[in-house]
């Protein structure tokens, strides 16, 4: 098979676009909610559990709309879907500056932002990577999702400063501008759906035809399916559900901590700027985990790496639940952040490696749809338990237990038999 490397592969521009989109979404939307939580509930006169219903609605919308997003990706391409999502998020951030009642928060952050997240973040960005890369898929995926970590690391303390200086309403307006610059303009100008659209090929190489043998020859160190699985056949394999539980356990914990970590730290008497900085460091450290997972995922079977990362999360959560000083908080931040970053990269990588890129978006969307109620419930659980007992010990312990189950499931998730589905 004749293979020639091109001088410049546009796939790396696609990686840059995905990085910038995730930079803005991570810092301005997903991880910002916990920083805004206390100032908003003070003005809206509500409890933490009630306010976190907005976060859970957002997560539910993101997961439940997944099948629609998958269809849209197939029909309209990643560029149009991505732009629809990011523009919707800009509108949502503008509207957040005007909320006056609790139900406004549920509607705007939950529904509007949730719809934007569904169409403008995980599925479109990772699908883009899968369309452009096989040989360096893990590395490309790691770079794209590392944008979330770097964005939060930089923007979290900035948001806390803005809230203290100009108030939470004006701060949402500033974040809308950041979203416009980093998440709307770059994909509008540079995003392309597939390499064939500009006369290039997968991984930037020229081949006669990407046969099954050719595809598998690109990556020999870890398992890559020799066939493209149909979602219906993939859903019948136990491996898929083991992977879903493993990734879901980590996401359950991450959602919980995203919504409540800053509030828990300020409850301990830690200044809001320091608490927001700790969240920024956690997600920033996740960048190292994402890049490390991206590099190692091409060399070591991802299921072993995911299991190790889940165990790191268990240890981190035990430390955080019992932390009395910032030294132990930062220990938790380092462990949990690194582990989350690695899992966020390795989950889509292993799904694509086991079942192929063709049906990836539909398969991922179906799994997200099924697990949506559980994953979206964690912020509400944390909020209502805290309101009842004034402690996060129980919800954080539940997260640790889920992550332990996730580690076991990852180890058991052997590659499905490569039969023609």
Q: What pLDDT, on a 0 to 100 scale, did the predictor assign at position 419?
A: 53
Q: For residue range 138-149, what is the model confidence (pLDDT) as tens digits?
A: 788 888 888 887
> Does 236 reside within a domain?
yes
> Does 182 reside within a domain?
yes
> Does 290 reside within a domain?
yes
| Mean pLDDT computed over 242-247 | 90
Q: Is the pLDDT of residue 211 over 50?
A: no
How many domains are there within the chain?
Answer: 1
Confidence of residue 123 (pLDDT cuts 50, 70, 90): confident
* Boundaries of domain holding 127: 9-412
> Does 398 reside within a domain?
yes
> Does 420 reside within a domain?
no
Q: Is the pLDDT of residue 76 over 80?
A: yes
> Does 331 reside within a domain?
yes
> Does 109 reside within a domain?
yes
| Mean pLDDT computed over 83-106 | 95
Q: What pLDDT, on a 0 to 100 scale, did the predictor assign at position 172?
A: 96
Please name which of 70, 86, 267 lies closest in space to residue 191, comparing C-alpha atoms. 86
| Mean pLDDT computed over 246-259 | 88
> Does 1 reside within a domain?
no
Q: For residue range 395-414, what is the model confidence (pLDDT) as tens digits?
A: 999 999 999 999 999 999 99
| Mean pLDDT computed over 244-260 | 88
- φ, ψ dihedrals at 5, nearest 5°: -80, 135
Q: For residue range 187-196, what is the model confidence (pLDDT) as tens digits?
A: 999 988 888 8
Average pLDDT over the chain, rounded to an integer: 86
Q: What pLDDT, on a 0 to 100 scale, did the predictor assign at position 150?
A: 86
Q: What pLDDT, on a 0 to 100 scale, did the predictor assign at position 198?
A: 85
Q: For residue range 147-188, what is the model confidence (pLDDT) as tens digits?
A: 887 888 889 889 989 999 999 999 999 999 999 999 999 999
The CATH number covering residue 356 comes to 1.20.1250.20
| Mean pLDDT computed over 116-122 | 89
């Amino acid at each position: 098979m004749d293979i020639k490397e091109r001088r410049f592969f546009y796939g790396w521009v696609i990686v840059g676009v995905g990085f910038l989109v995730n930079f803005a979404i991570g810092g301005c939307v997903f991880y910002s909610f916990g920083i805004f939580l206390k100032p908003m509930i003070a003005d809206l006169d509500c409890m933490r559990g009630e306010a976190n219903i907005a976060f859970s609605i957002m997560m539910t919308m993101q997961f439940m709309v997944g099948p629609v997003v998958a269809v849209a990706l197939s029909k309209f391409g990643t560029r149009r879907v991505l732009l629809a999502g990011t523009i919707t998020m800009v509108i949502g951030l503008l509207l957040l500056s005007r909320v006056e009642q609790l139900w406004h928060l549920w509607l705007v952050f939950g529904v509007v932002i949730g719809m934007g997240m569904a169409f403008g973040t995980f599925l479109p960005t990772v699908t883009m990577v899968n369309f452009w890369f096989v040989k360096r898929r893990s590395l490309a995926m790691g770079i794209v999702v590392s944008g979330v970590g770097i964005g939060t690391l930089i923007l979290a303390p900035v948001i806390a400063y803005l809230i203290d200086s100009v108030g939470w309403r004006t701060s949402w307006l500033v974040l809308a501008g950041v979203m416009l610059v980093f998440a709307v303009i770059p994909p509008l100008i540079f995003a392309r759906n597939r390499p064939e659209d500009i006369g290039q090929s997968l991984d930037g190489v020229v081949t006669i035809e990407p046969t099954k043998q050719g595809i598998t020859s690109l990556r020999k160190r870890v398992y890559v399916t020799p066939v493209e699985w149909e979602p219906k056949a993939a859903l019948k394999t136990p491996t898929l559900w083991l992977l879903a539980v493993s990734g879901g356990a980590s996401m359950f914990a991450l959602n919980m901590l995203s919504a409540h970590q800053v509030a828990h730290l300020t409850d301990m008497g830690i200044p809001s700027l320091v608490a927001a900085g700790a969240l920024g460091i956690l997600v920033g450290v996740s960048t190292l985990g994402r890049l490390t997972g991206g590099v190692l995922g091409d060399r070591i079977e991802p299921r072993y790496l995911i299991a190790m990362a889940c165990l790191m999360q268990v240890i981190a959560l035990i430390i955080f639940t019992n932390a009395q000083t910032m030294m132990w908080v930062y220990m938790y931040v380092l462990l949990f952040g690194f582990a989350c970053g690695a899992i966020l990269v390795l989950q889509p990588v292993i799904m694509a490696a086991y079942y192929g890129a063709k049906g990836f978006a539909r398969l991922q969307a179906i799994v997200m749809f099924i697990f949506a109620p559980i994953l979206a419930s964690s912020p509400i659980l944390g909020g209502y338990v805290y309101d009842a007992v004034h402690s996060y010990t129980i919800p954080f312990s539940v997260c640790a237990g889920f992550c332990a189950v996730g580690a076991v499931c990852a180890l058991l998730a052997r590659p499905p038999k490569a039969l023609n589905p």
